[in-house]
Chain A
Amino acid sequence: MSPLTRDRYLHYVLKFFACVSILSLFFIIFFLVTESWAIIESTPASKYILDDAWHPTDGEFFLLPMIVGSLFVMIGAMLLSIPVGIFTAVLWQFYAPAWFSSILERIVEVLSGIPSVVYGFWGIMIIVPLLAKFQAPGTSLLAGIIVLTLIVLPTITLVANSVFQQVNKLHIQNAIALGLSRFTIIRHIIFPQAKRGLLTGVILQAGRAIGETLAVLMVCGNVVQIPGSVFEPVRTLTSNIALEMAYAMDIHRSALFLSGLVLMLVVFMLILMTERMKFTSDNSL
């Protein structure tokens, strides 16, 4: 086989795999739409945001609290984990002595490998009783945010760290030679170069946070309501599916598929938003 034909075959193979992933997305959307068609057809969209309760067996499909719940849990977790993760990575790369960095690396790697169910279980046994001391029952939006933060934090730290490692070493050496302070180097040389990579890493984790199911289901309380405070229970779209799918029939089942479809739309919007942010950040450079 000549190098040229080999190249052509590789090209076909790559095209094939790319098509598989694109097609699978369309199949999933198609499947979600067909499964949720029964409810889309019979219930006007205004009911999902204006109804007063979620009683799918009685024909009430108030989805809004769950959309809000998913967003609140995700945003809360990201607000906590982004600064902590990025600052940990800065410490790790630029300030900590080598022995400390290597210990940190091991710990973060182990943490990122722990399955989320374990975090959820730990949340029920430690976080929920702790929060219950301040305000019963403890299963709440805040518990969800804390557990989710712990789930995404290690990966955000790892991603930030590797992004910092890819910053052009020559620029850093030049900056040091010019006698710039470490803070100035990080602020004006490292961060502008790392921005894009950090944004991508953050979005991947945000997607993971909004899709996380079991751990959130275990600690959030799952009452369908728009929470008045962080101590009140919430239900996320993913928990809604996991809680009710096993016994759902007909229109109820269809309503759960609609939850999945809505979740997908939310994630889609999230990605669009970041693309915009990347675009503006590129222009500002």
Chain B
Amino acid sequence: MPFNFRVMLPVIVVFFLMSCGSEQSANHTNALSGKLIITGSSTIAPLASELAKKFEKSHPLVKVDVQTGGSSRGIADVKRKVSQIGMVSRTLKESESDLSGHVIAKDGISIIVHKDNPVNSLTSDQVKAIFQGKISHWNSIDGNNEKITVINKAEGRSTLEVFLKFFQLKNREIKPDIIIGDNEQGIKLVSHNKNAIAYVSIGTAEYSKHLGINIKTIALDGVEATTANLINGTFPLSRELNFITQGKRSKLASAFLDYSLSPAAFSTIKEFGFVPIDTR
């Protein structure tokens, strides 16, 4: 086939543009380079991976490797210097004061019901009994004479873990009518079922209420489920998400920590249903 310039022209143009692009990003490099290893909690891992992706984009010579294995692995790895940053999804214990923790976000859970449900507040014992099937009708807690639809989360979800731990339940003790995956699905179901009760991350619940969706957050032991109460620590059903380090930090680890704590990371944190901590 003879070389057909008219056919090849777009191809040439595309290649030319591509080469321009790579030159530009090559100019963009700065001092940071190397590999950063982050290990620990599987709750934080998806968020850390996303933050890492964005961090890598602005620092092309940096490779961030996020591995999971639980909060205890995060601590052990940092102590053994296997990783530079550990992910721990709980408050650090006093015995762990040799580590420095940085709260990057809080993870809170609010109990939600339909907007027309007359119940506004529940005690921890009541919530526990509802999910165990010991309270089966709303009228035993001043609600309508209807059967309660219990909505539980699928195995492996971090909200499920926090929920079980707080109420000291085992997943097999819960008698669910519906099992859901993400928070959005819970909100959709509750907004169309007047007798349903579910738990979702506080960030998502507040956002949905703000959009005017027919759900209501339930005060737990008298404390309203709001991000404000989550940040000031009065709302009980919550936990801290920490990045931990030990001793002197590498330049790379410091830069990643600074990025994770900066307002630039807030939208990413919110995307995962967590509540960022505004330190300034």
Contact = CB atoms under 8 A, between A and B. Distances in A.
A136 B149 contact: yes
Contacts of A242: 181
B192 A125 contact: yes
B178 A139 contact: yes
Nearest to B42: A249
A218 B185 contact: yes
Interface centre among B146, B156, B172, B177 (most CB of A within 10 A): B156
Contacts of A128: 189, 192-193
Interface in A215-264: 217-218, 221-224, 233, 235, 242-244, 246-249, 252
A243 to B, nearest CB: 4
Nearest to B151: A137
Nearest to B179: A222
Contact of A243 (B68, B171, B181, B188): B181
Interface string B73-112: 0000000000000000000000000000000000000000
Interface string A52-66: 011111100000000
Interface residues of B, number: 26
A252 B155 contact: yes
B101 to A, nearest CB: 23
Given A247-B158, A248-B156, A252-B155, A137 B193 contact: yes
B113 interface: no
A218 B181 CA distance: 9
B46 interface: yes
Q: Determine the interface band of chain A, counting residues with CB < 8 A from chain B.
A: 20 to 34
B178 A223 contact: yes
A252 B154 CA distance: 12
A254 B211 CA distance: 38
B157 interface: yes
Nearest to A60: B172
Interface centre among B171, B172, B177 (most CB of A within 10 A): B177
Contact of B177 (A55, A221, A247): A221
A246 B147 CA distance: 32
Nearest to B195: A136
Contacts of B179: 221-224, 233, 235, 243
A249 B177 CA distance: 25
A96 interface: no
B127 interface: no
Contacts of A69: none
A243 B177 contact: no
B48 interface: no
Interface in B135-183: 146-147, 149, 154-158, 171-172, 176-181
A263 B189 CA distance: 27
A54 B178 contact: no
A240 to B, nearest CB: 8
B196 interface: yes
The 5 closest A-B CB pairs, nearest first, are A247-B156, A137-B149, A243-B154, A222-B179, A243-B181
Interface of B: 42, 46, 68, 146-147, 149, 154-158, 171-172, 176-181, 185, 188-189, 192-193, 195-196
11 contacts: A53-B172, A55-B171, A56-B156, A57-B155, A136-B149, A137-B178, A222-B154, A222-B179, A235-B179, A244-B156, A249-B156
Given A128-B192, A233-B178, A243-B154, 12 more contacts: A57-B155, A58-B171, A132-B193, A137-B178, A137-B196, A221-B178, A222-B178, A223-B178, A223-B179, A224-B179, A242-B181, A247-B42
